[in-house]
A and B are shown apart, each in its own frame.
Chain A
Amino acid sequence: MANLTLRYGGQAILYVLFAAFVGYFSTSPPYQHLPPDQALLRLSFRAPGQLTTDCRPRSPEELAKMSPQLRAQMDCPRERSPVHVRVDLDGKLMLDETFAPAGLRRDGAASGYRRQPIPAGEHLLRVQVNDSVRVKGFTHEAERRLTLAPGQVVLIDFLPDQGGVVIR
């Protein structure tokens, strides 16, 4: 009888231990994704840069060399400019990176994603973007004074058809 009690008791302990193992690691230990006093700055955009070159008329000699069904008068290269992004926080450079257009012919949209935890509190955020190789400097720019709570997310987007740099 004592042996049986010991056996069933042992089995009960075994299953309780397994349940405790499952229950504990189901939620614990907590994962500290960000330090408690940090906010998160995200850059995420997907936008086609400007075309690198303008269209030009083809010469008669060029047209003559082409197949008849392809003889378009204008030659419009499809290659797009990379998108150059520069982010300054409180006057300090945080990001200065160029994102290449997608596609074998470099005719697709450029896209980028970066994340950077930053201390919560007041910040001056400045974002500059250049999406044309034919322009020196930057084509779009935005500046925003932010007051960030811990865990707050700031998203920098680049939407040329909505005015350019968007800080949300």
Chain B
Amino acid sequence: MPAPTGSAGAPAALWRAAESALDRLCGVDDNPLRQLGAIGFYLFWLIAVTGGYLYIFYETSVAGAHASVEALTHGQWWAGGVMRSLHRYASDAFIAVIVLHLVRELMLGRFRGFRWYSWVSGVPTLWLAVAAGVVGYWMVWDDLALFVATATTEWFGALPGFGAALVRNFIAEGAVSDRLFSLVAFLHIGLPLVLLLVMWMHVQRLTRPQTGTTRRVALTGLAALVALSLVAPAVSGPPADLTRIATSLPIDWFYLAPLPALYTASPEAVWVASVGATLLLVVAPWLGRTPRPRPAVVEPAHCNGCRRCFDDCPYAAIAMAAHPSGKGEIAVVDADRCASCGICAGSCPSAVPFRSTATLASGIDLPHFTVDMLRAAIDATLRPAGTAGTTLVFACGHGAAPTPQPGLAIFTLPCAGLLPPTFVEYGLRLGATGVVVVTCAPGDCEYRFGLRWTLERLEGTRPPRLRRSVDRSRLAVIQAGPGSRAALDRDIEAFRARLAARATGSAAGGTSRPTLGETTHG
């Protein structure tokens, strides 16, 4: 049976260490690093709401633009001023969160293979967010806005299609008209709408995408941004004067960082750097990639169209179609979307090892890691004489790897979610003293729902359920990340010691008690 390998490497270990540190502070559920995408969505809506309020009072004219923003900032500081500052700071945080989200997936290696679509569709969000923000700075029409307008037109002027005349719209008295501000307002609303569309596309290959943060993260984040808005409110500079240019500018580095490079290097160099970096990000999934494991395969003769794999697939890789037999439906796998995690195989009601067929054929299976292979491996471990006292360990290939020990039979799975619950019962009936299921660490499941579905199936709250009659005291579920091997080994040893004590107690006529529930290690 091929042993899957987990994601490793120093960058992944470094990021996981940072996440674990914040887990201790915030808890797994409220760790901001574990929900960066959701925070991005949250900030987008915060920016939209505050921007909507500002737009009510904004005047789209040369004379009115700066004056209306000033009136908002100072005339109603308690509402418009706070809203303006929140709009600014939420926008800055938005860029920071997008970059962190990108860095996280990069460091964890979650951008290759089947994830290429989510990665590539995420790249334009950065450009669109920056473009929307840069245009937003034009709207204030102060000295910073004038700098931003001239710098961006100088930048675009370096492109063949635009030409040197573009900047003339901002450097001569009378060149700027009221219509410009209508155009800018249109862009400042239109670009975020396009961004929202791209964000929607970004999550299309995910089932149940997490687009909302936990309440605590949302409220604490909002409180921090409101506090910042009160302590350091966003203010305008003097009105734009086309005959003058500010020598020193309080630029927003989250959005305007490329502009100084236009003058320290050149507009052409900034184009090369920004387009080059973008292309590098776009092609990253195909750079040095490892071969993708084969996708899940549906066996029509054993698929009854129950939809469990359709419901459980974390990447929307399974669709339902008319069954070729003419009765009911059949699961259909989209090979490009398939992560080869095997969660679908674990959900299939026909993956029951007690079936007496020579070959255990399931409705949906991984060709390189079939449930038949798993049953055969268990049989080979437990059926020979003298295997009494063996503890089975079903370990996720992306979590901590248990250290081999005498009396321990370890089966490494592509994902703990591949394990049909009946295999736990099967192992126990064949004589295993106990079964340990090792999953990824909480909040760090390689395949999004592998951990959750495994727990729910074993708890009996999600089909296929582990039967009620199975002795839970002989089952341990340990959630352990790649860096928690020692803790995992200790837990397994403790579990085995309890099982041994229990067996001794029973033999001596003592009482038994549940030995282990779920333990977690980051």
Contacts and interface: CB of A to CB of B under 8 A. Distances in A.
Interface in B171-229: 171-173, 220-221, 223-225, 227-228
B93 to A, nearest CB: 5
Nearest to B228: A19
A16 to B, nearest CB: 7
Contact of A23 (B167, B231, B251): B231
A102 B163 contact: yes
Contacts of B22: 14
B89 A34 contact: no
Given A10-B25, A15-B220, A18-B224, A112 B247 contact: no
A23 B225 CA distance: 9
A78 B332 CA distance: 64
Given A111-B164, A168-B173, A22 B246 contact: no
B168 interface: yes
B493 interface: no
B165 A33 contact: no
Contact of A22 (B26, B93, B223, B263): B93
Contacts of B171: 42, 44, 153, 155
Given A15-B221, A33-B147, A44-B171, A22 B247 contact: no
A151 interface: yes
B25 A11 contact: yes
A31 B249 contact: yes
Given A10-B25, A34-B245, A16 B224 contact: yes
Given A33-B147, A44-B171, A157-B172, A27 B89 contact: no
B290 to A, nearest CB: 35
B224 A19 contact: yes
A14 B147 contact: no
A30 B256 CA distance: 12
Given A44-B168, A46-B168, A155-B171, A30 B252 contact: no
* Interface size of A as a range: 35 or more
B245 A111 contact: no
A66 B249 CA distance: 63
A31 B164 contact: no
A26 interface: yes
B267 to A, nearest CB: 10
A120 to B, nearest CB: 10
B167 A44 contact: yes
Nearest to B250: A27
A31 B244 contact: no
Given A22-B96, A113-B164, A15 B224 contact: yes
A21, A40, A153 pick with most chain B CB within 10 angstroms: A153
A151 B223 CA distance: 40
A26 B157 contact: no
A38 interface: yes
Interface string B359-403: 000000000000000000000000000000000000000000000
B247 A152 contact: no
Given A42-B171, A44-B164, A111-B163, A21 B96 contact: yes
Nearest to B166: A113
A36 B246 CA distance: 9
A32 interface: yes
A26 B246 contact: no
Interface string A46-64: 1000000000000000000
A28 B249 CA distance: 9
Contacts of B260: 31, 33
A151 B25 contact: no
A48 to B, nearest CB: 12
B157 A151 contact: no
Nearest to A150: B247
A21 B252 CA distance: 12
A94 to B, nearest CB: 17
A7 B245 CA distance: 49
A31 B248 CA distance: 6
A7 B26 CA distance: 7
Contacts of B243: 152-153, 168
Contacts of B277: none
Nearest to B94: A22
Contacts of B245: 33-34, 40, 151, 153
Contacts of A15: 220-221, 223-224
B299 interface: no
Contacts of B253: 25-26
Interface string B152-173: 0010010000011101100111
Given A111-B164, A113-B167, A153 B244 contact: yes
A153 B242 contact: yes
Interface in B98-154: 147, 154
Interface in B329-366: none
13 contacts: A15-B223, A18-B96, A27-B232, A27-B250, A33-B147, A36-B247, A44-B164, A44-B168, A44-B171, A46-B164, A153-B171, A153-B244, A155-B171
Given A151-B246, A153-B242, A168-B172, 11 more contacts: A15-B221, A15-B224, A23-B232, A27-B232, A32-B247, A33-B246, A42-B171, A44-B167, A46-B164, A102-B163, A150-B247
